[in-house]
Amino acid sequence: MSTFFGAASSTTRAALDLVPNLYVDVQDYGFVIGSGSPQDAALQDALNAASTGGGGRVLLPKGITVVTSEIQVPQNVVLEGQGRGTSLQINNASTLTGAVLVLMGNSSGVRKLHIDGNKAAAVSGSCSAIRWNGGGYVDNILDELLIENMTGIGLPFGITDKMIARFIKVRACAGIGFYFNAVTNFEGIGLVAEGCSGIGFDIGDGCTNLQLVSPISRLNASSGMRISGRTTKDVEIISPKLYQNTADGLIFNGVDEIEIVGGTVEENGSDGMSFIGSRWNNIVGTKLKNNSQTTNGAASEIQLSDDGTTPSQFNSFVGVKTRITAANKASLSFFENGATSGPNYVSGGSMDAGVSGTFLLTANGTRFVGVGKVRDTEDPQTNVSANYTVLSTDYFVRMTTGAGDKIVTLPDPAVGATPARFSVIIFKADSGAGAVKIIVTNGKLINGLTESDLTTQFQSLLLVSNGTGYDAM
């Protein structure tokens, strides 16, 4: 049997075990395969018959099934196609509002089906692929679906509990791709939002214990993903891929204690990650690269700001990597925007200098521990032979002194855009008699001294700012 994605997962099989083993063939209820005429009545009769029999699966044959109105999937009934080639399509000149399919109770579901909203031929209406009739249902199943061309939100998850959604692609819809509203105990695996007019994934207020594994959001005309609301808790996003969306890659909008593990956020139009009034969130091992595609360097890979009341603070970034390898991309890797932002915590990983030449702008005691710096140029060295003032983008300054002393001046870490944990290596390259004399702007100290010297060839110092001066080793 040809399917969109392959065999059912163990979690899907477990959920299907809750559905009685009654199989209903729609052709037994007057359904005509490939007729091109609406099959609403025959399809609904088959679904109702499965419900009357205590529940089961209604099997839809390959081909295009045209419908003109909402089709109700009763409790304990699953509508199941045969994967690729099994299509449920809204008729031409549609005015349908609501959804193609309506889940009516516990353990109802849809599998192995293509749902086509026929957006180009619609006259009016805002229609989604699937909706819930009310809320509070448990053990619903959505598995191996291709949803496209809807005139509204692609797939709005209603107020459900213990929901399984596996391998669903939503593309080219007129609204948001996936929308989550007060969903609890949700498991989503392999969900893809592509080319929609709204946000790819919009996780709204009231969602708890929600896990998305390997979600992909790309080429949407808004942000890749947004997570919102103080009552949204225990949300975990594992290995997301958010790229080439028109606006931000990922927005944290007034949320606390969200966890992002791994994944990539790349080539989005504005900020890679934007935190607005959000706290205690944990980002681990995520890679961000070349965001700010449409803002020409006006945005950042990671930006944190307040929402007018609550600052973005106490967020943790562990092993996060940023890369900015092209002009007119993000101006900063890490930007705390506004006097109330921070403190936050950044540990490990690496951060690149933006098109502004600056890695970081921070406020209010944010700590950077063991964060490396990445260089985009083929030669990471700055080769000099005259007095030199170190830039915040320098990593390795290679000084040739000749016979006379040369002065290398470090930036004051307490002034301007110098990163709070800026580090640089100073190296004496030649055997000339001149010394490399290292000082700090504004008379700040190096290991408690006003000057540190390199006097012999191949001698070097690693200098790390401590907020007021420098530690040398």
Note the pLDDT of residue 328: 63
Predicted TM-score (pTM) above 0.85: no
- State mean pLDDT over 89-118: 92
Q: What is the pLDDT of residues 396-452, one digit of tens each?
A: 788 999 999 999 999 888 765 455 567 788 889 899 999 999 999 998 999 999 999
Note the pLDDT of residue 376: 40
Q: Does residue 354 have a pLDDT over 80?
A: no
Q: Does residue 380 have a pLDDT over 80?
A: no
> How many angstroms separate the Cα of 219 from the Cα of each of 111, 170, 194, 274?
26, 12, 6, 18
Contacts of 304 (CB under 8 A, 6+ apart): 275, 278, 312, 313, 315, 335, 336, 337, 341, 342, 344
- State mean pLDDT over 169-177: 97
Place 35 in a pLDDT band, splitting at 50, 70 and 90: confident
Note the pLDDT of residue 352: 77
Note the pLDDT of residue 353: 67
Q: Which of 68-77, 184-193, 358-367, 456-465 has the lowest mean pLDDT?
A: 358-367
Q: What is the pLDDT of residues 125-139, one digit of tens each?
A: 799 999 999 777 888
Q: Does residue 368 have a pLDDT over 90?
A: no
**Residue 84 to residue 82: CA distance in whole angstroms:** 7
**Residue 344 to residue 321: CA distance in whole angstroms:** 16
- Compare 144 and 332 and report the one with higher pLDDT: 144
Would you mind telling me the total number of residues written for the chain in this entry?
Answer: 473
Q: Does residue 361 have a pLDDT over 80?
A: no
Note the pLDDT of residue 379: 42
- State mean pLDDT over 233-257: 96
Residue 325's CB is within 10 A of a number of other CB atoms, namely 10
Note the pLDDT of residue 63: 94
Q: Which two tokens stand for residue 141?
A: 């199943």
Note the pLDDT of residue 170: 98
Contact present, 189 and 213 (Cβ < 8 Å): yes
- Compare 419 and 7 and report the one with higher pLDDT: 419
